[in-house]
Chains A and B, each alone.
Chain A
């Protein structure tokens, strides 16, 4: 019906705690992975990326972990802040192909 939509997984985190958002990907040929943040009314914004020859990459307050064996990607946000509240998408591709996006996880930060 009209009101049926994607059931986005939701993660609720207390301000100051660490957040972990998980993503499973399906294409074993993918060699590039990326996390985007999408705030209400805006386009997706790049957070951090990782290539398949790495298993961990760190940015400012964010860390991405890649486990190719089980095709799993995670995003860790340290000291979560209210401004981190958004929908987070993982995406994958290989070569010059387009990014294929996951369904997204909604992060809600409780002040």
Chain B
């Protein structure tokens, strides 16, 4: 298995534009997590899914953020409209049920100018 795959690796966009980040889970994993990492706040959990169902989205900063799992192996995180303060590295991670280790993707570095 190639591990958790995120795309794009880097995204530079203008303020106000829509941004979509993508994540492919490891086959057989049933939990999906989106984290955001910044110098100010470290690694923050945004939202997580179990068996394609969103369980807790209390970490999503605003209504501008939304996440979906259209199927068991794929997820998107959308920011619309994007703002400069959304600039961060966004990670997704998957897990084969808990408690056990979560496997992280390489991240998407988002820069909003």
Contact = CB atoms under 8 A, between A and B. Distances in A.
B98 A32 contact: yes
Contacts of A25: none
B97 interface: yes
Given A43-B91, A43-B105, A96 B39 contact: no
Interface in A91-105: 93-101, 103-104
A61 interface: no
B37 to A, nearest CB: 9
B103 to A, nearest CB: 7
Interface residues of B, number: 27
Interface stretch (A9-17, A44-52, A62-70, A73-81): A44-52
A31 interface: yes
A94 B99 contact: yes
Contacts, number: 58
A98 B91 CA distance: 14
B39 A99 contact: no
Given A95-B98, A96-B31, A4 B107 contact: no
B106 interface: yes
A96 B42 contact: no
A44 B104 contact: yes
Interface residues of A, number: 26
Interface centre among B40, B93, B101 (most CB of A within 10 A): B101
B34 to A, nearest CB: 10
Interface centre among A42, A45, A98 (most CB of B within 10 A): A98
A30 to B, nearest CB: 9
B91 to A, nearest CB: 5
Contact of A49 (B35, B101, B103, B105): B101
B60 interface: no
Given A6-B39, A93-B98, 10 more contacts: A4-B40, A5-B40, A32-B98, A49-B101, A94-B99, A96-B50, A96-B99, A98-B56, A98-B102, A103-B42
7 contacts: A5-B38, A6-B39, A32-B98, A34-B101, A98-B33, A98-B48, A100-B45
